Structures are given as C-alpha cells and as structure tokens.
Structure 1
C-alpha cells in the first residue's frame, strides 16, 4: 500500500519531483558511458534527443512514485519492439540504477525506489522473455 503524505496522499514514498529528475539525469549520464548499455541506447537516442528522453522517463517515475498522472505510454511495447534489448540487459540496468540511487539519495529513499525499480524491471524482463519465445515452447520461469 502506498505511503501517504499530507501534500500528496497517493505518493508511494516521500520524494520530490526534483530528486526524481536529478536521479534520472545522473543515471542516463552513466548509461551513455556504460560499455554494454551505452551502445544500445545510442542506437535509439540521438545526442540531441537525450533531454526529451530524460524528461519522459522522469515523468514515468513521477507517475509511478508521486502518482502525478503526467506520463502516458507503453514502456513494455517500446522495449519489445527493439530486438537489441534483451532480457539479460535488465540486471545490468538495475545494478547501475541501484548504484545511482545509493549515491544520490538518502538510504531510505534509495531502498524504496530500488524496490519499485526491481519490480518494474523484472516485469519488463519477464515480459520480453515470454513474448519472444516460440509460440509452442514451454514457459521460461526465470
């Protein structure tokens, strides 16, 4: 159940929009330098498109955490339609995201956001595995 705060009774935890924007910015600066993830992102996001991408992802997180209703889109579809994004990339993405959260936020906020990111990331990873397996293949459970 989401934690409530006086200014937003639907918030999952007490973080500000500015903190979310900051974390997203730091994270994507590191993504661009990552030896595995950086080239994948570079294939889909031009240098001039990074500010718009970061804004979109910050809106995704504000929607997920602050319940701002400021994001519309289908991130699962975006990941599924890019065959170079593989299930094995999600643990790398999450590990880097955890590092940024721990470096940029107080411990209690980093833990709360990391737990939410883990659930979302695992959902994306499992969705990619499920949707990309042959139609008659047995399910992959991990």
Structure 2
C-alpha cells in the first residue's frame, strides 16, 4: 500500500470507500439505526460518497470534505446519544471483518474518539442552558 506522509495509518482511499459501503448496508438493515438514517438520507450513494470524503479527510488528511457533522447530528432530534454505541459496534464489526487487524484497530480508535465526541456534543448541546452538565 502507498501511504502519504500525512496519513494517520496505512490504508487506501479505495479501502475507505469499500468499508463505508459495507457499513451503510449494515446500517440500513439495523432495526434501530436503519429507520433513523432512512428518515434523513434520500440518496444513499451520495451520502456514502460524502462519508467516504469525511474519512479520507480524517485519515488520509485529504482536503476533500467540508461540512459540520456535529451540527447535522444535533439538528436531528431522532438522533439519540445512545445510537452512537450501536453505530460504533456495527462499524467495528465491519472494520474487523474487512481490514487487516492493525488497520482495523487504528481506524476503530479514531472512530471511537469521533463517535464519543458526537455523543457528548449532542448531550451538551441539547440540554437546557441552566441545567447542570451531564457527566456520562
């Protein structure tokens, strides 16, 4: 595999796209996540291309993604903090099944950090301004 000096770990853009494709097939079939995503995603190939660009930006440090995923997730009230554990579980399953172990672990660690950031951000941004912070 060819790795650019800026990449976080050894993976290709094609592998990223492949993982995203497999992952969203599982999301669509999931009893909890499927309906939430289906309520918001009108064009699955377009969504998968967007998320592939997100991961290429995050992993390969390509400048191919622009957007505010936190704002997107917070603006959808049916996206719940508890959904991120399900999302990450499915994501880890796909990573472990489709990638070499080291790459799966590296990408999984990055996904865990990003997912936890989204989960805690949603909790914080949705609570009343005068409420004490939720620390879980």
- Please classify the TM superposition score into its range, dividing by the shorter chain length: over 0.9
Two-structure CA RMSD over aligned residues (Å): 1.2
Change (3 A) 1:6 1:89: closer
TM-score normalised over the length of structure 1:
0.93
Deviation sequence 1:9-38 (CA, Å, 0-9, x none): 110001000000000000000000000000
Query: Any gaps of 5 or more consecutive residues in structure 2?
Result: none
In the alignment, structure 1 residue 33 sits paired with structure 2 residue 47: no
Give 2:19's aligned residue.
Answer: 23
Change (3 A) 1:69 1:83: same
Deviation sequence 1:111-131 (CA, Å, 0-9, x none): 000000000000000000000
Match of residue 79, structure 2, among 71, 74, 85:
85
Aligned length: 136
Give 1:61's aligned residue.
Answer: 55
TM-score normalised over the length of structure 2:
0.97
- Cα offset for 1:6? 7.4
Query: Any gaps of 5 or more consecutive residues in structure 1?
Result: none
Q: Aligned partners of 2:113 and 2:22: how far apart in 1? A: 21
**Stretches of 4+ moved more than 6 A in 1?**
none
Match of residue 46, structure 2, among 35, 40, 52:
52
Matches within 5 A, 1:89-128: 89-128=83-122
Contact 2:81 2:119 in 1 (8 A): yes
- Cα offset for 1:7? 4.6
- Cα offset for 1:45? 1.1
Deviation sequence 1:35-57 (CA, Å, 0-9, x none): 000000010112xx000000000
